[in-house]
Amino acid sequence: MNPRSIILDTDPGQDDALAIFLALASPEIELRSIVTVAGNVPQPLVTENALALLEVAGRTDVPVYRGADRPLIREQYTAEYVHGDTGIDGAGLPPPTAQPQELHGVHHLIEACLSAPAKSITLCPVGPLTNIALALATEPAIVDHIREVVWMGGSIAGAPNTQGVGEFNSYVDPHAVHIVLQSGVPLTMFPLDVTHQAILGPDALDRLRRYDTPVTRCCVGMSEFYAHHDEDRFGFEGAVMHDPCVIAYLIDPTLFEGRRMRVAVELADPDLLGRTYASSHGAEVLVMFEADSDRLIDLFVDRWSSL
């Protein structure tokens, strides 16, 4: 079977970093490029983080494109209170030596899609949807070249993790969510309902420590730092692996169960801006709700330890 050709749109972020490592370690995935978006921390930190993570993994052949610096309309909101000042606190990585590509990330998305065969590119946004929305609004013809958009974002019935309203990626740029929902692109959504079942606990971290490689040391350090927020906020024993779920789904879809439903995002009520919810007026989305947690964590550990 040919590997799945993907572009990862990301705002590293510890869980974003672990999603990058998972994609690099998986023969089922062809990681064509990384596009960065302001989210967990501002630009240019997210871009520097992506470059540094590729360097520690020995994969500077993967090009990085700097994308949007801010959400479409609302003020920028970042999450240093979760991820630390760098966004990947705990990684202990030196500044990258490589540089991002000169082409803007949105233009890269458009060019990469238009130059690919029909229904061949999978876009994997694991941050705010700003870049994806800008690309779709600028050149709607890219829809015909996209096999699927697999997004980590939103929450249907799960407890919100941002400002008591909703999930962070949706909260940061709800107008981008609306554009993507209305674009007609095939969309699979990994909301908090399912990602809160993907917890990298102490046993998994102990398994990773035994390998003692630059990548596993980075994984452990980031996860230990990142775990504190969700342990305090939700009582989880470990770090929630939101973004790696997207890559795991592409490797083995049987790890998850979901259903098709219509989803909308709140834009009218300023107190609920960014909340995603089931609505008969929404767009049809494949929403994941259940994860095989034990198999999922085994996959993470096996793949990260192979880098």
Residue 99: pLDDT band (50, 70, 90) is: very high
Q: What's the half-sphere exposure (Cβ side, CA atoms, 13 Å) at 255?
A: 23
How much is the pLDDT for 36? 99
Query: Please, is 47 exposed, middle or buried when counting C-beta atoms within 10 Å of its C-beta (0-12, 13-18, 19+)?
Result: buried
pLDDT at position 236, please? 80
Average pLDDT over residues 218-233: 88
At residue 148, the 3 state secondary structure works out as strand
| pLDDT tens digit sequence for 123-164 | 999 999 999 999 999 999 999 999 999 999 999 998 899 999
Q: Please provide the average confidence, as pLDDT, over all residues in the chain.
A: 96
pLDDT of res. 119 = 97
What positions carry a catalytic annotation? 242
What are φ and ψ of residue 76, in 5° steps?
-65, 140
Confidence of residue 234 (pLDDT cuts 50, 70, 90): confident
- Tell me the pLDDT band of 230, cut-offs 50, 70 and 90: confident
Strand 121-125 and strand 4-10: the pairing is parallel
Report, as an integer, the average pLDDT of 88-109: 97
How far is the C-alpha of 14 from the C-alpha of 174, rounded, in Å? 22
pLDDT in tens, 31-65: 999 999 999 999 999 999 999 999 999 999 999 99
- At residue 146, the pLDDT reads 98
Q: Are 64 and 97 in contact (CB under 8 A)?
A: no
pTM greater than 0.95 (yes/no): yes
Chosen CATH of 4-304 out of 3.40.640.10, 3.30.70.260, 3.20.20.210, 3.90.245.10: 3.90.245.10
**Whose CA is closest to 46, among 107, 127, 161?**
127
Q: Pairing mode, if any, of strands 256-265 and 239-240?
A: unpaired
Mean pLDDT across 253-259: 98
Let me know: does 124 contact 250? Beta carbons within 8 Å: yes
Q: Please, which pLDDT band fits residue 226 given cuts at 50, 70 and 90? A: very high
- Predicted confidence (pLDDT) per residue in 164-216, tens digit: 999 999 999 999 999 999 999 999 999 999 999 999 999 999 999 999 999 99
Query: Is the predicted pLDDT of residue 279 greater than 90, yes or no?
Result: yes
Q: How much is the average pLDDT of 63-77?
A: 98
pLDDT of residue 197: 97
Say whether pLDDT at 262 is over 80.
yes
Contact 151, 60 (CB under 8 A): no
For 251-284, the DSSP string reads H-GGGEEEEEEEEEE--S-TTSTT-EEE-TTSEE
Q: Which of 158, 253, 237, 153 is nearest to 199 (CA)?
A: 237
